[in-house]
């Protein structure tokens, strides 16, 4: 099916993005692992290549910069030999700050990475998807946009924006054979979650929260990758504009 199709995963060097990149490589896509961190992007691409898959790293790319986004997509096309027909907007930043302490800079940075990034990357790849008459876009939002999360007003607003962005874009791109969906993860064991635990921002340990989760464990990056793998598959062509929660039952 997808031997020659190229998939681009932003924030692919760590956590959820890393698992998605490795899973899509396993599924037969040529995978572009894009990240702000050049070293981790290269490690993930190398891990995929060691398993015999096709992957290339695109490090030191900041998704919040339109010029860098356009240039990266151009280089991906050149390096992997085909247009990007699968885009996973996964790169994101989270901060915990009480509402009155959020500065303009902090608000704008969160919006720039979490919302402008997907906007720039979608604009960069959609023309090729339209030409191919086929495309898959998956935006990684957050269950906090469904439930709210104290001290994360900026982050939650950016992820709720990404859910609205997904729904609107799906309506516009459906006739072109392009699906657009969002996975809002909840409580997934990644460096981002462990950093929050270490800083005492979770209101308890990861183990404590696992006890309160209906499936009694934290999510694994592979859980999100599995849902993503399905959403970008041929079989998922009738699923678009949807919010597919992967959260162990924490949000329904
Ligand atoms: P992570 O381990 O921190 O990975 C995020 C990756 O994105 C990192 O490699 C990071 O690079 C990269 N990145 C950050 N800013 C970037 C930028 N401006 N341009 C390019 N790359 C950038 O986080 P994660 O937990 O896997 O999260 C992945 C996504 O899931 C995020 O959108 C997050 O909001 C969402 N999410 C996660 C959870 C969870 O429970 N873990 C829950 C809800 C939503 P650096 O390391 O260099 O910063």
Ligand 1 atom 17, closest CA: 62
**What pTM value is reported for the model?**
0.97
Closest residue CA from atom 32 of ligand 1: 92
Is the CB of 90 inside a 6 Å radius of any atom of ligand 1?
Answer: yes
Q: Which residue of 36, 197, 201 sits with most ligand 1 atoms within 8 Å of its CB, as the best mutation to test the pocket?
A: 36
The Cα–Cα gap between 227 and 221 comes to: 10
Q: Which CATH class is domain 6-187+221-236?
A: alpha beta
Compute the Cα dihedral for 142, 33, 120, 77 and give only its sign. negative
Query: For 76-130, what is each residue's pLDDT tens digit?
Result: 999 999 999 999 999 999 999 999 999 999 999 999 999 999 999 999 999 999 9
The average pLDDT across 146-173 equals: 97
Q: What is the pLDDT of residues 46-59, one digit of tens each?
A: 999 999 999 999 99
pLDDT digits (tens, 9 = 90+) for 1-11: 444 699 999 99
The domain limits of the chain are: 6-187+221-236
235: tokens are 């079989």
Question: Distance, CA 174 to ligand 1 centroid (Å)?
Answer: 28
Q: How far apart are CA 66 and CA 62, in angstroms?
A: 9
Q: What percent of the chain has pLDDT over 70?
A: 98
Residue 151 is a catalytic residue: no
pLDDT value for 1:
43
Q: What is the mean pLDDT of residues 245-249?
A: 96
- CA–centroid distance, 175 to ligand 1, in Å, is 31
- Report whether 248 contacts 187 (CB < 8 A): yes
Q: Is 243 helix (H, G, I), strand (E, B) or coil?
A: strand
- Own/partner long-range contacts of 167-170 (Cβ < 8 Å, ≥24 apart): 167/241, 169/122, 169/137, 170/240, 170/241, 170/242
């Amino acid at each position: 099916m997808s031997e020659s199709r190229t998939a681009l995963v932003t924030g692919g060097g760590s956590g959820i993005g890393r698992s998605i990149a490795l899973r899509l490589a396993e599924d037969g896509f040529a995978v572009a692992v894009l990240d702000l961190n050049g070293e981790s992007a290269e490690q993930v691409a190398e891990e995929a290549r060691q398993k015999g898959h096709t992957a290339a790293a695109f490090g030191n790319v900041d998704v919040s910069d339109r010029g860098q986004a356009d240039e990266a997509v151009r280089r991906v096309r050149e390096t992997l030999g085909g247009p990007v027909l699968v885009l996973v907007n996964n790169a994101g930043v989270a901060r915990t700050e009480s509402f009155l302490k959020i500065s303009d800079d902090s608000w704008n940075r969160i919006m720039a990475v979490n919302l402008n990034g997907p906007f720039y990357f979608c604009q960069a790849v959609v023309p090729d998807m339209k030409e191919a008459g086929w495309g898959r876009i998956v935006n990684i939002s957050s269950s906090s946009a469904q439930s709210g999360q104290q001290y994360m007003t900026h982050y939650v607003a950016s992820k709720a924006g990404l859910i609205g962005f997904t729904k609107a874009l799906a309506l516009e791109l459906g006739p072109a054979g392009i699906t657009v969906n969002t996975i809002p993860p909840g409580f997934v064991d990644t460096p981002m979650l462990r950093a929050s635990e270490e800083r005492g921002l979770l209101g308890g340990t990861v183990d404590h929260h696992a006890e309160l989760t209906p499936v009694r464990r934290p999510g694994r990056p592979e859980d999100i990758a599995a849902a993503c793998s399905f959403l970008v598959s041929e079989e998922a062509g009738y699923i678009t504009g949807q919010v597919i929660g992967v959260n162990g039952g924490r949000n329904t």
